[in-house]
Structure 1
């Protein structure tokens, strides 16, 4: 692997002075270069960090861009340096870098162009995961499946991943979020490249470093973005880049279902306010419209799942 591929690690650095040296010292020797991107950290990078690994490049942002923005800065440097594979590792020592070989293996063999950790395939590790994180990740994983089109993907918010730079070159970085939505928006862009994803089972490590993202705020932060990603994906996949039978299902099923639902609510309110029963014909029309629209949308979902990019 080391002889055939130049492997680099990107580490977004922000207030992790207690951990960064340890993270660097544990990197395997197959890593050719490390990019530390200082995202305007309040804690200065320890001097010994630059010598904790043999080939380190330190990059400092002029303003805070978030974990995604810092990682994208590393991506650009890796592309400029003709790196073959880039791995994103957090600076808080909550990722087991001994799994780097497992992450890059499917990329080196050509079986995938993106590989990421999956904390839900290791039952022992799953039991150790904090309950709130477990529930949050389960809910987000399901919603992200629909939004990104990778219906077989799990633990999509896992930030420990490897990607080929040849794949990165085809992505629109402006469409990839700078902050907490970074991993999800990256996967959503991979969808349009029909990129194969490899899930690598690995445990999560929960040290004394606390996330700045409150788990109870996650639904309010992610849900609007997931809806936007979902609509954007459907529009591009079925009305811009292609037009197929599922496009027709969506075109007919969506207005039918919405019309039946809204018309049904209106009639329920109208006839209830009049204290009379709704006509049988009205009830049948509303019911039939909702059922037909719903069935067409189910067909669209089935088609979308069957055409989803492969996840190993």
Structure 2
């Protein structure tokens, strides 16, 4: 799709064990992109050298002497894009799972200044969704809910998607040195964007699944991801509701947590004592444990409701979403017709 604007655009590609795909990925990037920033994260397959040998004038390769993780590689690319004065920076993976022809759709809200950060949404196109492995689909659904709650962007359907774009002002406001350098990077980006009140939008994007090899080992990162997600959630709630602002959600959280802790602790203690003493707890004791739990859940639900309604947004949000959906569907139809 022809596209040209007065905006300088860069694509950042973190590379680690993607030597089989990196050339194809680079050559697929549209001509309107000004810079292609390839970050060789100490790749044992020398993906950066392969990218450098292509001869594409837009390519700049950044070499890491030591592996910094996917987040560290992307941040290196972001810093270089800021140095080059790029107005929009897109992050793509080097494994060929992302269709570069959909970049115009991804950056449209940024060009129109209707969002600060966009993420691809693989769950909008049901036909393309059927190509996603079932186990990955289930895992992504569960993980997406965790990321929604952790980041505060409850409006995102596919928050774990790595195909994303960010505007120069939002990128400059982020404290990149504070963002996680590993596989928690995508989620931590959303947490930090929420704290600086940036608008994040879903854009319908179809994923591509082929013979790529994932470097992510679920068993190795599952526990650490859960710990980081919990810490990220606490951090966001603390800063958003007790440092940057104080509202009814702040009060509801203050009431809900002690009630839940007391109800669960007291109830667990009395239940254990009943087993040890082979006795039954009377109705009053049961209510003393149950009532704080019930009230705590109610207050917690009220706090979550306020959190959902406080998602950063700009004016004409409904029009914006419809416009993006319409544009995406139109381009997808054109592509199907041309093929």
TM-score, reference length from structure 1: 0.95
Match of 1:24 in 2: 26
Aligned with 1:129 (options 117, 129, 132): 132
**Most deviating of 70-79 and 301-310:** 301-310
- Three-state SS of the structure 2 residue aligned to 1:200 is strand
**Most deviating of 119-128 and 282-291:** 282-291
Structure 2 residue runs of 5 or longer lacking an equivalent are 322-339
Match of 1:3 in 2: 5
Aligned pairs for 1:240-251 (under 5 A) are 240-251=243-254
Task: State the shift of 1:160 in Å.
Answer: 0.8
- What's the CA shift string for 1:27-48, capped at 9, x where partnerless? 1011001111111111123556
Structure 1 residue 189 and structure 2 residue 196: aligned? no
Q: In structure 2, do the counterparts of structure 1 residues 48 and 297 end up closer, same or farther at CA, with 3 Å as the change threshold?
A: closer
**Most deviating of 31-40 and 282-291:** 282-291
Structure 1 residue 210 and structure 2 residue 241: aligned? no
Match of 1:306 in 2: 309
Question: What is the number of residues matched between the two proteins?
Answer: 312
Structure 1 residue 252 and structure 2 residue 280: aligned? no
What RMSD in Å do the two structures reach over aligned CA positions? 1.6
CA distance in 2, matches of 1:160, 1:280: 55
Match of 1:14 in 2: 16
Match of 1:53 in 2: 56
Task: State the shift of 1:308 in Å.
Answer: 1.8
- What's the CA shift string for 1:227-246, capped at 9, x where partnerless? 11111111111111111111
Is the Cα–Cα contact under 8 Å of residues 23 and 50 in structure 2 kept in the other structure? no
Task: State the shift of 1:125 in Å.
Answer: 1.1
Aligned pairs for 1:1-312 (under 5 A) are 2-44=4-46, 45-47=48-50, 49-215=52-218, 219-310=222-313, 312=321
- What's the CA shift string for 1:8-63, capped at 9, x where partnerless? 01111112222111111111011001111111111123556444533111111121
Q: In structure 2, do the counterparts of structure 1 residues 246 and 48 end up closer, same or farther at CA, with 3 Å as the change threshold?
A: closer
Is the Cα–Cα contact under 8 Å of residues 147 and 230 in structure 1 kept in the other structure? yes
CA distance in 2, matches of 1:156, 1:232: 19
**Most deviating of 45-54 and 96-105:** 45-54
Normalized per residue, the structure richer in helix is 2
Task: State the shift of 1:216 in Å.
Answer: 5.2
CA distance in 1, matches of 2:63, 2:167: 24
Is the Cα–Cα contact under 8 Å of residues 20 and 49 in structure 1 kept in the other structure? no
- Three-state SS of the structure 1 residue aligned to 2:37 is strand
CA distance in 1, matches of 2:178, 2:43: 25
